[in-house]
Amino acid sequence: MLCLLLAVGHADAADGQSSPTPVLLILGDSLSDAYNLPREAGWAHGLAERLADDKRVVNASISGDTTAGGLARLPALLDEHQPSQLLLILGGNDGLRALSPAQLERNLAAIIERAQAHSVEVFLMQIRLPANLGPAYLQRFEAVYPRLAEQYGLELLPFFLEDIFDEPGMIMDDGIHPSEQAQPKMLDALWLSLSPLLE
């Protein structure tokens, strides 16, 4: 009888333990790394504040990173943070360097497969490139994302700069990176498509 009571008490104690907060991992480049801004000014920091009661956001974005770099870094990130969800916003630097869309696709596919092998839910964002890279390259590059979303059964999130890129003050003088004023608008654009998935 005493053994049974001890066993029941142990089970109740275990049930009372709070489970760890789910982790949302962001794997991106300068668009997510608050390039040339304080990190606290970036949209990813704003997302962490919005989700503070429900999730822990780990922003593992690095300015200048490519899909190859993200793929190389992913195993250690998965081991360290044990995320339940991955927000994948990579490819812009591949495009700006005119790297092969086939290589882009292989790297993104490998990231998705590795994450899914760890039971991580993946959200993939469509990446858009400047028009000066030429229509033929743009078409091949941008087609990679919906193709991967269909292949792996992912939600394809719209590019969070698409509707604000041409607004005054949204882009830095380099013509590429979003300004501090753009960060809240990027977050709002992302939130529209991401928040229903997080629920």
109-154 pLDDT per residue, tens: 999 999 999 999 999 999 999 888 899 999 999 999 999 999 999 9
Q: Which of 45, 63, 177, 188 is catalytic?
A: 177
Show the tokens assigned to 149: 């979303």
84 as an active site residue: the answer is no
Q: What's the CATH number for 21-198?
A: 3.40.50.1110
pLDDT, mean over the chain:
91
Q: Which of 85-89, 146-150, 159-163, 165-169 has the lowest mean pLDDT?
A: 165-169
Taking residue 187's Cβ as centre, other Cβ atoms within 10 Å add up to 20
State the average pLDDT over residues 53-64. Answer: 96
Q: Largest alpha-carbon pair distance within the chain?
A: 78
Q: Which of 15, 18, 30, 54 is catalytic?
A: 30
Task: In whole angstroms, give the CA distance from residue 26 to residue 58.
Answer: 6
Q: Which of 12, 15, 53, 174 is catalytic?
A: 174
30 as an active site residue: the answer is yes
Show the tokens assigned to 34: 């608050």
> For the stretch 147-178, what's the b/e string if a residue is b when 16 or more beta carbons lie within 10 angstroms of its beta carbon?
ebbeeeebebbebbbeebeeeeebbeeeeebb
Task: In whole angstroms, give the CA distance from residue 44 to residue 47.
Answer: 5
* Domain boundaries, given as residue ranges, for the chain: 21-198
Please state the pTM of the whole predicted model. Answer: 0.89
118 as an active site residue: the answer is no
